[in-house]
Amino acid sequence: MTLTIYNTLTRDKKPFEPIAAGTVRMYCCGVTVYDYCHLGHARSYIVWDTVRRYLQWRGYQVQYVQNFTDIDDKIIRRSQEEGLPWQEITRKYIDAYQEDMGRLNILPADAYPKATDVMPQIIELIKTLIDQGYAYPVDGDVYYAVERFPAYGKLSGRKLEQMEAGASERLETEAVAKKRHPLDFALWKAAKPGEPEWDSPWGKGRPGWHIECSAMVREWLGDRIDIHSGGEDLVFPHHENEIAQSEAALSQPLANVWMHNGFVKIRGDKMSKSLKNFTTIRSLLETTDPMVVRLFVLQAHYRSPIDFTEDAIAAAENGWNTLKEALKYRVNFEQLPGWPEIDTLEQASVDRFNAAMDDDFNTPIAMAVLFELAKDLRRAGNVLVHTGQSDLSVEQLQQKWQTLLRLSQVLGLEISSLSEPELTDASTNGNIMAGLSDAEIEALIQQRQEARKAKNFAEGDRIRNELQAQGITLIDQPGGETRWHRH
């Protein structure tokens, strides 16, 4: 099987070939840290986390870098509104981002560079573009000359002459007067009174938005990378401008593959602050399990739009409950005689999972493999609870459970990432749960056995129900032995 990926630049799926065998250098455009992250951010970073996890699962060493934009008009405006230094604003929302992503079980990036970390590199890159005739300074600003880059528009599929129509109407008169072309974009902005500023050959100022990513990619990952990713909204102008900057300066492609995830819609409308249908991650997680959010995202292909509705979240919640229940069945299964302590997988399921993910990370098809495994385990678990026996061998049960566990982890769906107290490692027998002690449970089980011997089945059922109400499941074994576990 060969991994194929849809490339936004070429508009087709092609086999993935890393620049260096066995290694993937991947850059993901991060957030501008002036506010809390929303559901659109959750989708994007869950998607790229899953891509990264799958590449690692397939044996690649992944170097994953994701930036923070920590100087920007929105940050300056928020600083002025709250009367706080811009550094405090960015620190606050970087911390909030890390907290939100941690709850969604998103792996930390190998590096989180900030725009202000690479000011010397940004200035050097702008100087190179000026020297090569791709940029020009005007009154302390520096602009990129889009007409000097013939391939401008190749990522978005837009033609320069089509984009030019009406562009001047969207710009300030002062900015239009400075530019040679309406679509020329700022690489460096002259400082205004009271704004953060840095020294440069063109005077005090700060970088434009697009140049920071070109500088950070080069500084952390090199001149050319394997995968550049981000939301669909970044195709134009941000990623288009990154290509123009980096490829003009370095005379080679910036990235071999460009990947973009689709939008999140709220009941059919694109999620946006202007429509007042904006949902932050932290407000959503007040009522929704993080793994439900993750499953909601993965039940759609990453390039397709996804509609956030009550029904969609309810379906995702049912799906997660199914997987979670199956994952927790190990507590039942490992008590069977001969449970093997080995790490073997059901190869047929792994092959079908890999085939789905190799087809441009088709998570909906890959999820179907997980649900099939969960269905088999659930059926076997129900038989075991009611009869004390299993219709599958312990080797089959172990393989199915281990396969479900490992493939779920590839998608970032893990019980261990939750805060529910009952979801502890099965080997601990759940002893962190408050309530009856082990000795008290054993005493009640003994009372139940004595009641059953005396044919007082009503008393035996009462004790079983009492234990069940406190999260204790009894499993009657052949020969009269009763085993138990906490939920």
Contacts by residues 447-450 (CB-CB < 8 Å, ≥ 24 positions apart): 448/474, 448/482, 449/480, 449/482
**Can you give the pLDDT at residue 416?**
59
With cut-offs at 50, 70 and 90, classify the pLDDT of residue 426. very low
Domain-wise residue ranges, the chain: 4-134+204-281, 327-424, 428-486
With cut-offs at 50, 70 and 90, classify the pLDDT of residue 418. very low
**Can you give the pLDDT at residue 135?**
98
**Can you give the pLDDT at residue 273?**
62
d(CA 412, CA 396): 24
Q: 433 pLDDT exceeds 50?
A: no
d(CA 310, CA 296): 11
Query: In sequence order, what are the residues at sequence separation of 6 or more whose Cβ sits closer than 8 angstroms to the Cβ of residue 178?
Result: 138, 139, 141, 143
- Check if the beta carbon of residue 306 is closer than 8 Å to that of residue 264: yes
Helices and strands, counts by H and E, the chain: 17, 15
pLDDT by residue (tens digit) across 321-366? 999 999 987 776 766 777 777 778 999 999 999 999 999 999 999 9
3-class secondary-structure state, position 148: helix
Q: Which residue has the tokens 């044996």?
A: 59
79, burial (CB in 10 Å: exposed 0-12, middle 13-18, buried 19+): buried
With cut-offs at 50, 70 and 90, classify the pLDDT of residue 381. confident
The CATH class given to the 327-424 domain equals: mainly alpha
Q: 423 pLDDT exceeds 70?
A: no
Q: Mean pLDDT, to the nearest integer, of 388-408?
A: 87
d(CA 135, CA 208): 13
Beta bridge partners of 94: none
- Judge whether 4-134+204-281 and 327-424 match in fold: no
Task: Give 335's Cβ-side CA count (13 Å radius).
Answer: 24
Q: Mean pLDDT, to the nearest integer, of 191-220?
A: 96
d(CA 46, CA 172): 37
3-class secondary-structure state, position 229: strand
d(CA 89, CA 79): 6
pLDDT by residue (tens digit) across 105-126? 999 999 999 999 999 999 999 9
d(CA 261, CA 49): 12
With cut-offs at 50, 70 and 90, classify the pLDDT of residue 450. confident
Highest mean pLDDT among 34-48, 407-421, 434-448 belongs to 34-48
CA distances from residue 348 to 4, 163, 357 in whole angstroms, order as listed: 20, 50, 14
3-class secondary-structure state, position 395: helix
Q: 166 pLDDT exceeds 80?
A: no
Q: 435 pLDDT exceeds 90?
A: no
Q: Mean pLDDT, to the nearest integer, of 364-373?
A: 97
Q: 466 pLDDT exceeds 90?
A: no
With cut-offs at 50, 70 and 90, classify the pLDDT of residue 417. very low
**Can you give the pLDDT at residue 432?**
26
**Can you give the pLDDT at residue 477?**
58
Q: How far apart are the first and last CA of the chain?
A: 40
For all residues of the chain together, what is the average pLDDT? Answer: 88
Q: 173 pLDDT exceeds 90?
A: no
Query: In sequence order, what are the residues at sequence separation of 6 or more whose Cβ sits closer than 8 angstroms to the Cβ of residue 197?
Result: 191, 204, 205, 206
Q: For the domain with range 4-134+204-281, which CATH number is right: 3.30.465.10, 3.40.50.300, 3.40.50.620, 3.90.1300.10?
A: 3.40.50.620
Q: 60 pLDDT exceeds 80?
A: yes
Highest mean pLDDT among 201-215, 268-282, 472-486 belongs to 201-215
CB atoms within 10 A of CB 191: 15
d(CA 155, CA 162): 15
Q: 486 pLDDT exceeds 70?
A: no
**Can you give the pLDDT at residue 422?**
37
pLDDT by residue (tens digit) across 230-277? 999 999 999 999 999 999 999 999 999 999 999 999 877 777 666 667
Q: What is the pTM assigned to this prediction?
A: 0.83
Q: Mean pLDDT, to the nearest integer, of 407-414?
A: 96
Ranking 60-74, 202-216, 332-346 by mean pLDDT, the lowest is 332-346
Q: 170 pLDDT exceeds 50?
A: no
